[in-house]
């Protein structure tokens, strides 16, 4: 298994006491699968994603990448080498062009920065060569989302996380993004894990999980 969430509990410190958001959540994820995670607002989906993508360590329990505890692997190394995340807000560098954003990600993750490869990756997600050289702030929300996906592809990792990737997009653009995720999982063997409120997206994933009461259950549930 590429990723194991093993009895993970997570608490945030409140004014007076700790508030447990995850309570002994467990699940294992295989390479080459596209998984959606549904659940009511506030159920801890983003928290689970941030732990699984190595932004923070769980209060209790273990997360393993190919059998190794992330504590042993180191969160920084895990994020650089194995896990890419597409955030709700895209987190693009706003003073750069789309291609420059991709090249920066290549440099940060230790890949050779190449203008040609950056444009290739952008074209793969439907950004034209012309748009690749425009400042990202001149692109639409859907295009910025695609740039964020191309940036994740540039990292050449085998785990891809996305938080509400189709939330602000029209139906056609959203479908294009879902198709990219399916292709990445099924043709490149990437493990794609997406947090969403969209049952349309969940129906097209290989596996829908629901987070409720701090635990993960298999199936789309009522979330």
Ligand X SMILES: Nc1ncnc2c1ncn2[C@@H]1O[C@H](COP(=O)(O)OP(=O)(O)OP(=O)(O)O)[C@@H](O)[C@H]1O
* Pairing label, strands 34-38, 207-212: parallel
Among 21, 70, 84, 92, binds ligand X (CB under 6 A): 21
Stretch that binds ligand X, among 45-53, 72-80, 128-136, 173-181 (CB under 6 A): 45-53
Chain-centroid distance, C-alpha 54? 11
Look up residue 125 and give its DSSP letter: T
For the record, the structure tokens of 222 come out as 């009522």
Q: List Cβ neighbours of 50 (8 Å cut-off, separation of 6 or more).
A: 56
Q: Does 43 bind ligand X (CB under 6 A)?
A: yes
Give the closest residue to 32 by CA, choosing from 178, 156, 189, 140. Answer: 189
Interface residue with ligand X, options 3, 39, 70, 98 (CB under 6 A): 39
* One of 15, 16, 41, 187 touching ligand X (CB under 6 A): 41
Nearest CA-CA partner of 214 in 70, 2, 18, 82 = 18
One residue of 47, 97, 144, 173 binding ligand X per CB under 6 A: 47
Binding segment (CB under 6 A) for ligand X, from list 39-47, 120-128, 144-152, 214-222 = 39-47
Q: Tell me: does residue 222 bind ligand X (CB under 6 A).
A: no
12 binds ligand X (CB under 6 A): yes
CA distances from 37 to 102, 117, 121 (A): 27, 32, 26
| Binds ligand X (CB under 6 A): choice among 45, 64, 79, 103 | 45
145 binds ligand X (CB under 6 A): no
Cα(51)–Cα(20) distance, rounded to whole angstroms?
14
Q: Is 42 in the site for ligand X (CB under 6 A)?
A: yes
Residues that bind ligand X (CB under 6 A): 12, 21, 39, 41-47
């Amino acid at each position: 298994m590429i990723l194991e969430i093993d009895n993970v509990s997570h608490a945030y410190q409140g004014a007076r006491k700790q508030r447990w958001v995850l309570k002994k959540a467990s699940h294992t994820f295989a390479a080459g699968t596209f998984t959606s995670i549904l659940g009511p607002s506030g159920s801890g989906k983003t928290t689970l994603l941030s732990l699984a993508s190595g932004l923070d360590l769980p209060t209790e329990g273990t997360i393993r990448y190919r059998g190794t505890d992330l504590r042993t692997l180191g969160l920084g190394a895990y994020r650089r080498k194995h896990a890419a995340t597409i955030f709700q807000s895209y987190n693009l560098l706003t003073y750069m062009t789309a291609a420059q954003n991709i090249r920066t990600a290549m440099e940060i993750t230790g890949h050779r920065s190449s203008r040609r490869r950056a444009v290739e990756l952008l074209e793969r997600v439907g950004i034209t060569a012309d748009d690749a050289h425009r400042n990202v702030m001149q692109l639409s929300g859907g295009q910025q989302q695609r740039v964020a996906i191309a940036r994740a592809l540039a990292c050449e990792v085998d785990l891809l996380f996305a938080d509400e990737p189709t939330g602000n997009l029209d139906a056609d653009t959203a479908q294009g993004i879902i198709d990219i995720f399916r292709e990445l999982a099924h043709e490149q063997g990437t493990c794609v894990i997406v947090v969403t409120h969209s049952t349309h997206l969940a129906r097209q994933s290989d596996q829908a999980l629901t987070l409720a009461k701090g635990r993960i259950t298999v199936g789309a549930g009522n979330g």
